[in-house]
Amino acid sequence: MTDEFTGKVVLVTGATRGLGYAIARGFAAAGATVVVSSRKQDACERAAEAITSETGVRADALAFHVGRWDTITPAVDEVYSRHGRLDVVVNNAGIAPLAPSLVEVSEALFDKTIEVNLKGPFRLTAVAGARMAKAGGGAVVNISSIGAHRPSPPEAVYAAAKNGLNALTMAFAQEYAPRVRVNCVMPGAFATEMAAHWDEEFVHKVVDRLPAGRLGEPDEIVGMVLHLASDRAGYTTGAVIPVDGGRTAVY
């Protein structure tokens, strides 16, 4: 455990499992007060309790639906009410529904995918970023996907949303400069709960194209996220960085 983020308050969306949970735990291990966010309060509370138990640093639970525009400002207000500050936002919450064909994508599925993966991070970065800039500074780290650069038809809407998130990263880096830095990490294939449902043939296909030769472990994204949120990355903003086992290096 380090104390690099001691005294800082970090909000992580989609933090009850997978990469989000690993990121939240990583910030707590570095001393931060982490606000664990997801849609369900009970899941947030369980994750916060586990992080507190693992790290010895108290994590907080705050449920809200990132895809609903009108929940964002009250959620940010609540963070400030509880903790008096907000230093880092990690936009990790996302959904990746697959479609058998693009013509079979329903309007409801399209809208939901855009709402959670793009509209929510836009509004949260706008609201939290403005307040952090007014308070003197902060950092936003967006969690995108290499699907933004390597899209396949079944994930086309998700990939389009994540490509939009990459663009928002660059725009917000200008909007709130120089006080708030905004960067983006593009994960590749990681061994999360989602990957546990992949069949062996699919996993082989994924790994066969990876220079790393394996799926990533959730903790392997943590170092990059913490770096981008830290003062050590003070000259880095508007960057979109793959953490993908080399996948985007392969044509």
Lowest pLDDT segment from 147-156, 186-195, 233-242: 186-195
Active site residue 80: no
Q: Which two tokens stand for residue 116?
A: 């959670």
Q: How far apart are CA 46 and CA 48, in angstroms?
A: 6
pLDDT digits (tens, 9 = 90+) for 2-36: 789 999 999 999 999 999 999 999 999 999 999 99
Asked whether residue 212 carries a pLDDT value surpassing 80, the answer given is: yes
Of 158, 176, 235, 251, the catalytic one is 158
pLDDT digits (tens, 9 = 90+) for 39-59: 999 999 999 999 999 999 999
Q: How far apart are CA 197 and CA 123, in angstroms?
A: 31
Neighbour order of strands in the sheet with 240-243 = 60-63, 33-38, 9-13, 88-91, 138-143, 180-187, 240-243
For residue 200, the model assigns a pLDDT of 76
Instruction: Map out the domains of the chain with their CATH numbers.
Output: 9-249 (3.40.50.720)
Please tell me the pTM assigned to this model.
0.94
* β-pair type (60-63, 180-187): unpaired
Residues 6+ apart with CB under 8 A from 20: 12, 13, 14, 38, 90, 92, 93, 143
Query: Whose CA is closest to 90, among 41, 157, 139?
Result: 139
Q: How far apart are CA 52 and CA 58, in angstroms?
A: 5
Strands, E, within 39-119: which ranges?
60-63, 88-91
**Section 71-81 average pLDDT:** 98
Task: Give, for 119, the enclosing helix (H) or strand (E).
Answer: none
Task: Give, for 10, the enclosing helix (H) or strand (E).
Answer: strand 9-13
For residue 197, the model assigns a pLDDT of 65
Averaged pLDDT score across all residues of the chain: 94
Q: How far apart are CA 51 and CA 68, in angstroms?
A: 27
Asked whether residue 139 carries a pLDDT value surpassing 90, the answer given is: yes
